[in-house]
Amino acid sequence: MKVIVMGAGVIGVASAWYLAKAGHEVVVLERNAGAARETSFGNGGQISVSHAEPWANPSAPLKMLRWLGKEDAPLLFRLRADPAQWSWGLKFLRECTAARSTHNMIQLLNLGTYSRASLQSLRDETGIQYDHLTRGILHFYTSQKEFDAAIEPARIMRELGCERQVIGADEVVRIEPALASIAPRLAGATYTSEDESGDVHRFTTRLAALCEARGVRFRYGVRVQKLHAQGGRMRGVEVADETGGYETLQADAYVLALGSFSPMLARPLGVKLDIYPAKGYSATLPVLDASRAPTTSLTDDEYKLVFSRFGDRLRIAGTAELNGYAMDLNPVRCEAIVRRTLEIFPGMSEPQLARFWTGLRPATPGNVPYIGASAVEGLYLNTGHGTLGWTHGCGSGRAIADIISARVPEVDFAFCGKPSRTRPVAMPALS
């Protein structure tokens, strides 16, 4: 089959890889001059099956209210006159019940476990290098209350097969000696030894090169303008091509993997995707004193920051701002990230050496991505991966390739459309 993949972020490139492996002829369309130049550029680097607790959980509404208007809040809902934002916000609240939150957590855990295993096999098969480390993820707490509240979700995760262990402060410093400076303030941590970290940009660009070697064609500088459907079936993709001219491209199947920009293209076909951009920040610091920098990937619960070591760099990422598509860097947030990093790891680097980045997480209200068939025949979805697109990249790519190849994916997940375990996408009939 000929398959067009729209978008060359980690999701589009992983889809292309598994589709090519399944024997399909694949073309990837990307508006930038290379792969992984948008949200898959500078993220937190965690392959974190253990971060399966969705943002939308029973304690979220109260916390978000407290954070409203606070410039350095970890999760900031900046209210706008934007119906898409309000509609997303209301759906988010609906996902905060204990039942919905548990359902979503199970989806994220299943997909995460499958995806991490898929990434490990891909690594064994190809030898791909991306500054990865397999030293686990340590989620540490400086608040006793938050630590106590983490014990039950960790227990549920263990029951569901994710080895998220609860550990005391002494054990934290044994696993990551660089945390010694804040040892007296630690309430405890959870540790998932099977989780990993690595540079998503390196991974995606190198996987794109491996895809090309397998015959995948990447068309960079090509902007998808419009999807054409007729009689309930995809008929083509209208693009502004490399020369600025317009053309319509056709294939047997089309994969929508445009991250936060997916809903605009899908909506005219009647495919309504609840995806809203959640802007995040990262800082990358050169490691000047390796003895003071962590090698285990970390999550700082108090500041909602994650830390991943990429060779001689430390990546710190976090914060979420629901404020539309603006990409400006807020200096208050940038400074807060570096201040906290050097407070925990004093002398590790110098603040003026930080390189800042911002990206838009394609967030769904319940954190669960859209993967599978849409109601428009031939149009497949692989989008809305929110906070976990790097963790879920390989599993999502592998699953969509299975679905397009008429095979049932090996993971128990609420896929959209057919086959199986369906998650319906609201869709009026097409004219």
| Site residues (vs ligand FAD, CB under 6 A) | 7-12, 29-32, 37-40, 43-46, 48, 223-224, 257-259, 261, 280-282, 306, 317, 359, 361-362, 383, 385-391
CA distance 174 to 183: 11
CB 125 within 8 A of CB 20: no
CA distance 8 to 153: 34
CA distance 425 to 178: 46
Closest CB to ligand FAD among residues 282, 349: 282
CA distance 79 to 24: 44
Closest CB to ligand FAD among residues 238, 302: 238
The two structure tokens encoding residue 190: 């959870």
CB 207 within 8 A of CB 17: yes
CA distance 175 to 137: 10
Query: In the complex, what is the shortest distance from the CB of residue 258 to ligand FAD, in angstroms, rounded to a whole number?
Result: 4
Query: In the complex, what is the shortest distance from the CB of residue 296 to ligand FAD, in angstroms, rounded to a whole number?
Result: 14
Closest CB to ligand FAD among residues 223, 421: 223
Query: In the complex, what is the shortest distance from the CB of residue 377 to ligand FAD, in angstroms, rounded to a whole number?
Result: 22
Q: Number of C-alpha atoms within 13 angstroms, CB side, residue 283? A: 26
Q: What angle do CA 223, 283, 105 make, to 5 degrees?
A: 75
Query: In the complex, what is the shortest distance from the CB of residue 351 to ligand FAD, in angstroms, rounded to a whole number?
Result: 19
CA distance 378 to 396: 18
First and final C-alpha spacing in the chain: 26
Closest CB to ligand FAD among residues 9, 74: 9
Closest CB to ligand FAD among residues 64, 137: 137
The two structure tokens encoding residue 330: 């807020």
Query: In the complex, what is the shortest distance from the CB of residue 218 to ligand FAD, in angstroms, rounded to a whole number?
Result: 11
Query: In the complex, what is the shortest distance from the CB of residue 49 to ligand FAD, in angstroms, rounded to a whole number?
Result: 10
Closest CB to ligand FAD among residues 33, 429: 33
CB 9 within 8 A of CB 389: yes
CB 281 within 8 A of CB 329: yes
Query: In the complex, what is the shortest distance from the CB of residue 388 to ligand FAD, in angstroms, rounded to a whole number?
Result: 4
Sheet containing 223-230: give its strands across: 223-230, 233-240, 246-249
Closest CB to ligand FAD among residues 169, 425: 425
Q: If phi over 0 gives left and psi between -120 and 50 gives alpha, with beta otherwise, what is residue 291? A: alpha
Query: In the complex, what is the shortest distance from the CB of residue 178 to ligand FAD, in angstroms, rounded to a whole number?
Result: 19
CA distance 188 to 166: 8
Closest CB to ligand FAD among residues 28, 414: 28
